[in-house]
Amino acid sequence: MITKINLGVLLLLIYGFHIQADALKDSYTQEYNGNFEASYKLMESLVIEKPNEYFYQYRAGWIAYSGGHFSQSLVHYARAIVIDQSSLEPRVAQLKPLMALGKFREVETTCKSILQLDPKNYTAKSTLAYSLYNSGDFQTALKYYIEVLRDYPSDIEMLLGVGWTQLKLGKKDKSMEAFQKAERINPWNERVLEGLRYSR
């Protein structure tokens, strides 16, 4: 038997659910229109109301990143990881704001934590290679570029990575080989043509 009190609680729950659904829907609309500040405020209200809701934290992280608030984005992604510790999604998402902030050491740490959960994760391995390259650790960067190419032999970005890394290591013959492979796949790519010029 539903009492007046129970009915009141039920109606409040239904009302609250509709408000949350409307806020989430509105955040998508604002994002679509390029108004990331308004979209984030809507997500922030949902996060305050339900801080342990994984998707709210994850989406707030994405919207914060899209609006250029990289540090705040990382806060939400970190909270999402705490809520669902086995999830790869927010760990991978952290890489973009970390790269935008130039925090290459943290990028490397995050990539390695992802690879412990998913040893063949493309985004983690390729980002790790790029980060190591930017940090000046060319030998280790080359190792990861080559590992990715074993799984994705026609990946232009990874072939370019190998080419430029070999150039940094002073191995023009090896860099030429990588750029020539890339040229066979995409002969009009300006970065490929530039690499070929530097390798001569």
pLDDT for res 3: 54
CATH number at residue 37: 1.25.40.10
Q: Is residue 160 part of a domain?
A: no
Count up the domains in the chain and report the number: 1
Q: Cα–Cα distance between 177 and 160 in angstroms, integer?
A: 11
Q: What is the 3-state secondary structure (H, E, C) of the chain?
A: CCCHHHHHHHHHHHHHHHHHHHHHHHHHHHHHCCCHHHHHHHHHHHHHHCCCCHHHHHHHHHHHHHCCCHHHHHHHHHHHHHHCCCCCHHHHHHHHHHHHCCCHHHHHHHHHHHHHHCCCCHHHHHHHHHHHHHHCCHHHHHHHHHHHHHHCCCCHHHHHHHHHHHHHCCCHHHHHHHHHHHHHHCCCCHHHHHHHHHHC
Q: Is residue 1 part of a domain?
A: yes
pLDDT digits (tens, 9 = 90+) for 134-186: 999 999 999 999 999 999 999 999 999 999 999 999 999 999 999 999 999 99
**Residues of the chain with confidence (pLDDT) below 70:** 1-21
Q: Cα–Cα distance between 119 and 103 in angstroms, integer?
A: 22
Q: Is residue 143 part of a domain?
A: no
The pTM of the full predicted model, rounded to 2 decimals, is 0.84
Phi, psi of 62 (to 5 degrees): -65, -45
Domain that holds residue 50: 1-101
Q: Is residue 80 part of a domain?
A: yes
pLDDT for res 30: 95
Q: Is residue 62 part of a domain?
A: yes
Q: Is residue 10 part of a domain?
A: yes
Q: Is residue 94 part of a domain?
A: yes
pLDDT for res 22: 86
pLDDT for res 19: 52
pLDDT for res 196: 96
pLDDT for res 12: 40
Q: Is residue 23 part of a domain?
A: yes
